[in-house]
Amino acid sequence: MQKRKLGQQLEVSALGLGCMGMSFFYGPPRDTAEMTRLLRAAVDRGVTFFDTAEVYGPFVNEELLGRALAPVRGQVVLATKFGLKHGEHGPTPTSGLDSRPEHIRRVTEASLRRLQVESIDLLYQHRVDPEVPIEEVAGTVKELIAEGKVRHFGLSEAGAETIRRAHAVQPVTALQSEYSLWMREHESEIIPTLEELGIGFVPFSPLGKGFLSGKMDAAAPLAQGDLRRMLPRFSPEAMQANQALIGLLQQIADEKGATPAQMALAWVLAQKPWFVPIPGTTRLDRLEENLGALDHELSPEDLQRIEEATARIRIFGARVPEQFQSMLGR
């Protein structure tokens, strides 16, 4: 397995595994025994970087990773998150945010117990809380690092100025934000800021929440309980309109003996050597397909061709509902 470095010190597999969908967002939680086998299979194939959060479930995703990865703890890097309030079924538009220092400490202790670890490898603020200065947040995590309860500090979907302010208090190891061929808004300001400061980037949803795999049927309705139903980009009309992007990926994949998903991931990996995408899956065949992206390196000519083609493709539909938009890029 190829390795990459986040920040100055945190080395992880070039592809991580986003674990949210095992317990949350895409429908009911999957079978625990089956997901345990999948997590162990990922480790066997060289994956060392696993992403979770307290709100995934809530709680059950951290518990799943804690039990499943306990026997291989020395081989893996676990990332989790704080700061999103949640209801019975996870975060909602009205759940709100809470990054008060006392709350960070309380939920970190709970995450340590659920993950069955003495120290969290990478602790992200899930979303920026405008009610709590980022300096207080970074200072609290700095204290947790000094106490040995956390190893590295991360942010998620934060704006450039927030990243700078946080980094001045406690070096930020990684920013996690959505990024893919159909979500590139971070290229103008965020990614240059990360490069300047030496901060790693962890793109979530590098396959566009499954759309860029080319395996979703625009004419087939999403299942009840699949929260993509609330995303404007997954309306039937938007999915049909965005098929042009799938057509491009399929064409390149056919030429290279690959799949659209592998080309989408190869494109993300080719952007910067400090990008570590975390595609999620609940299936072994998809895990192996995703890892196969590491065998397909795109040439400068390939990248230029993709750039020219995507410049002519208009993406339809917002990536999040309007009520969530204010939580991004603060």
Give the chain's domain count: 1
Please name which of 193, 190, 196, 197 lies closest in space to residue 173, comparing C-alpha atoms. Answer: 197
- Find tokens 């890892």 and name the residue: 291
Report the 3 state secondary structure along 184-219.
CHHHCCHHHHHHHHCCEEEEECCCCCCHHHCCCCCC
As annotated, the active-site residues are 56
Locate 291 and state its tokens.
């890892």
Please name which of 44, 41, 3, 38 lies closest in space to residue 19, comparing C-alpha atoms. Answer: 38
Locate 18 and state its tokens.
């986003």
Query: Domain span at residue 101?
Result: 3-325
Q: What is the residue-wise DSSP string for 170-184?
A: S-EEEEEEE-BTTB-
320, 289 contact by CB (below 8 A): no
Please name which of 233, 196, 179, 227 lies closest in space to residue 211, comparing C-alpha atoms. Answer: 233
Q: Rg (Cα) of the chain, in Å, rounded?
A: 19
Domain membership of residue 330 (yes or no) is no
Domain membership of residue 155 (yes or no) is yes
Domain membership of residue 8 (yes or no) is yes
- Find tokens 């949210």 and name the residue: 20
Helix/strand/coil percentages in the chain, nearest 5: 45, 15, 40
CATH code at 121? 3.20.20.100
Domain membership of residue 45 (yes or no) is yes
Q: pLDDT by residue for the chain (330 residues), tens digit each?
A: 999 999 999 999 999 999 999 999 998 999 999 999 999 999 999 999 999 999 999 999 999 999 999 999 999 999 999 999 876 555 554 468 999 999 999 999 999 999 999 999 999 999 999 999 999 999 999 999 999 999 999 999 999 999 999 999 999 999 999 999 999 999 999 999 999 999 999 999 999 999 999 999 888 889 888 999 999 999 999 999 999 999 999 999 999 999 999 999 999 999 999 999 999 999 999 999 999 999 999 999 999 999 999 999 999 999 999 988 989 999
